[in-house]
Structure 1
């Protein structure tokens, strides 16, 4: 059966029938295992972010095994892909958030007139309006950290001990644990060790060091899919931008490669880098 986009004509099928007819078999199996099939046949309305079979196949093997063996993890993950409301792309406001059936907050971003994301995942096949809601096809499974960015560093202090301590000392933890969306370029402890040896004048000056930390924080959510070549990222350090470059070797910020990307938190996204970024004005 041909798919119907959001053209004003509603598809007579319900969510489950649409997923069956369009080959979302693995997602359907998990919906049924989670006991959600009957609910998704009711009047709703629902918004469903439907990962393709390939999206599940491409998951890391240990994570997929966890998904199939751990009932609570499976049920929460599937519920995270479902809203009890209708959201279509023309209504999306950048950095708007919604609450899924699992209680986890999801974030929408609009990076261009044709590029919409949910938690950094492109809605590649959006706006299929059915009898009891709308289905958006996505090509990755939504894996959400149910913590704020500040809390993420607190619970991963084996990698970010220096960064977390610095955030606490400089009074930024409360800000990074609030609702405002942030993109954080997070240097590892190894990066801080190398930086400390080279630029002690910044480390030993509380004002300069706070400025340095603010240079790693962008007050908006930029997942990698929304980072275009030569994009200027306006940081919390007023008047100091970071430049994104994108080429065959990948994404870089001020020439520094992104090591681990798109760690989605409740109030934004974290990208890990292995070098501390220094704004030009702080270099002697």
Structure 2
């Protein structure tokens, strides 16, 4: 009887250890899920499909898939609707003005600084007590980091 008890207890202990390890592995996988997005492009496709469609039409998708770091200032869908019937060149010009060369978290955007865009233009940063403006457009959701950059949702189109 003792042998059966010890054998059963040993098996239950083993099952408990395996179960705990499986739970830890699952928790680790869940914690890593946001990092699975390998590029800015994949993140934009997943979270901003209208922007992704316009970036594709403008021919900007290879840039966002590269290893080079960029920051996207993602306008809302309502603002992007005004670009849907524009030429690919016009869309490229406007959207290039929403892509910063380099990876900028919101804390990196210092008050009064100017930052170069992919279009070759410069945007001016204005820091307020509770928010940041880029050329007068408010960042409404900041620091969505991925492998090759970061995305900040903004509440309008930056004028080019």
Superposition TM-score, scaled by structure 2 size: 0.77
Name the residue aligned to 1:5: none
In proportion to residue count, which structure has more helix? Answer: 2
| 1:169 positional shift | 1.2
Change (3 A) 1:161 1:254: same
Higher RCO (C-alpha under 8 Å, 6+ residues apart): 2
Measured in 2, the distance between the counterparts of 1:144 and 1:257 equals 26
Q: Equivalent residue for 2:10?
A: none
Q: 1:145 to 1:275 in 2, by over 3 A?
A: farther
- Counterpart among 197, 222, 231 of residue 113 in structure 2: 231
Counterparts in 2 of 1:148 and 1:256: CA distance versus 1, 3 Å: same
Runs of 5+ consecutive residues of structure 2 not aligned to the other structure: 1-19
Which of 87, 106, 124 is the matching residue for 1:243?
124
> Is the contact between residue 184 and residue 270 of structure 1 (CA under 8 Å) also seen in structure 2?
yes
Match of 1:74 in 2: 27
Q: Which residue of 1 aligns with 2:152?
A: 271
Using the TM superposition, give the Cα deviation of residue 205 of structure 1 relative to its aligned residue in structure 2, in angstroms.
3.4
For 2:88 and 2:109, how far apart are their aligned partners in 1? 31
**Where does 1:40-51 land on structure 2 (aligned, <5 Å)?**
none
Quick one: distance in 1 between partners of 2:69 and 2:106? 15
Name which of 139, 144, 158 aligns with 2:35.
144
Q: Does the alignment pair 1:207 with 2:89?
A: yes
**Aligned counterparts of 2:59 and 2:142: Cα–Cα separation in 1:** 25
Secondary structure, in 3 states, of the residue corresponding to 2:132? strand
Gaps of 5+ in 1: 1-33, 36-69, 81-103, 105-142, 280-284
Matches within 5 A, 1:1-284: 71-76=24-29, 144=35, 146-156=37-47, 160-193=48-81, 196=82, 203-238=85-120, 240-279=121-160
**Structure 1 vs Structure 2 CA RMSD:** 2.6
